[in-house]
Amino acid sequence: MRVEVTVRGVPAPQGSKRHVGSGRMIEQSRAVGPWREAVRAETQRTMEHVAILDGPVTLTVTFRLPRPKTVKAAWPGKRPDLDKLCRAVLDGLTDGGAWHDDGQVVVIRAAKFYARDGFPPGCVLTIDQLKEEPAC
C-alpha cells in the first residue's frame, strides 16, 4: 500500500528542547509547532479512508524551502538540518494516524530543495508499506 501526503507551509526543524522549570520541557523553535500541526492535519485528512499502516514502512520526503532573497546558491546547503526537518515530519505523521509508531519506519529517503515558481514551500511525503522480506 502507498500513501501520499502533500503539506503546504514552511518546513520547520524539530530541534532541541529546553528546560523551563518544574520538569517542563518546550521546543526551542516556535515554528515547529505550527509545522507539525500542518503535517498532522494533512495526514489525518489523507488517512480518513485508509487503514492505519501496520508493520515496516519506507518514507520518502521532499522538502521545498523558501529561498531567502539574499541567497544565490542553487541548493539549500545550510540550515535547516535535513535530519531535524525529518524528525518534525515523523512526529506529525504519527500524530496524524499514518502508523502506530515512527519506529515502523525502516528506510527514510529525504531531500531538500528551494521552492520554485508553481511549487510553494512545503513537503511531499510518500509512505510505502513493506510486505516482502529484505533481499540482504
Backbone angles phi, psi at 30, to 5 degrees: -75, -20
Q: What is the pLDDT along the chain (136 residues), one digit of tens a residue?
A: 999 999 999 999 986 655 556 766 555 566 789 999 999 999 999 999 999 999 999 999 999 999 988 988 889 988 899 999 999 999 999 999 999 999 999 999 999 999 988 889 999 999 999 987 766 6
Instruction: Read off the C-alpha cell for 30.
Output: 516556535
Helices 32-46 and 82-95 cross at an angle (nearest 10°) of: 50
In CATH, what number is assigned to the domain containing residue 91? 3.30.1330.70
Residue 19 lies in a domain: yes
DSSP-derived letter for residue 12 is -
Q: Would you say the C-alpha torsion 70, 31, 50, 3 has a positive or negative sign?
A: positive
pLDDT given at position 17:
57
Residue 82 lies in a domain: yes
Residue 74 lies in a domain: yes
CA distance 73 to 75: 6
Backbone angles phi, psi at 122, to 5 degrees: 155, -150
pLDDT given at position 136:
67
> pTM to 2 decimals?
0.86
pLDDT given at position 27:
54
pLDDT given at position 85:
96
Residue 119: C-alpha distances to residues 11, 92, 124, 134 (Å) = 14, 22, 11, 35
* Domain boundaries, position 125: 2-129
Nearest to 33 by CA among 97, 88, 102: 88
Indicate the number of domains in the chain. Answer: 1
pLDDT given at position 99:
97
